Structure 1
Amino acid sequence: MDTTPQDLSHLFEQLGLDNSDENIERFITSHTIPANILLCQAEFWNESQKSFLKESIEEDAQWSELIDHLDAQLR
């Protein structure tokens, strides 16, 4: 069983991004996604990040709730 804490900091770590509070806030304020685009289709993700996001949502994985939260923050 994976015991990794489920928070934005760890989600950013999973995505290979700087997971400091300042970077997370900067990322959220500097990236927006149009309503007709899925989070995993946003142009600012690399292919690995897109795959992780898509698969996590499709499989309702442990990260899916946080991914939904991030999605809402980017709209």
Structure 2
Amino acid sequence: MEQHAHSMDDLFNQLGQSQDSEGILKFIQANQPLAGDVRLHNAAFWSPSQAAFLQQAISDDADWAEVVEALNSALHASA
């Protein structure tokens, strides 16, 4: 099976968020740091459909997994 490399811009577009670099940076800054015990898909700022997508991307080790993990790391990092 061929996997596709998705960018952070692609992920934010998929999540219905602003996908330009400034919008992504503002989103991350506004929502970090995410507490260490909060899984990315359980963060309060996601809609149910966004949370389901993020959870499935990780659990299925889908094409999106790498960029979702990058977002997870960015949100758990200290500002």
TM-score, normalising length from structure 2?
0.87
Deviation of 1:2 after TM superposition, in Å, equals 8.3
- Match of 1:74, SS state, is helix
2:52 aligns with 51
Q: Which runs of 5+ in 1 are unaligned?
A: none
Q: Distance between the aligned counterparts of 2:13 and 2:2, measured in 1?
A: 15
TM-score, normalising length from structure 1?
0.92
Deviation of 1:25 after TM superposition, in Å, equals 0.5
- Match of 1:23, SS state, is helix
The alignment covers a number of residue pairs equal to 75
2:7 aligns with 7
1:9-57 per-residue CA deviation (whole Å, 9 max, x = no partner) reads 0000011111011100000111021000100000000000000000110
Deviation of 1:3 after TM superposition, in Å, equals 8.4
Runs of 4 or more, structure 1, over 3 Å off, are 1-5
1:36 aligns with 37
Q: Percent identity?
A: 33
CA change 1:62–1:3 in 2 (3 A) is closer
- Match of 1:27, SS state, is helix
Q: Which runs of 5+ in 2 are unaligned?
A: none
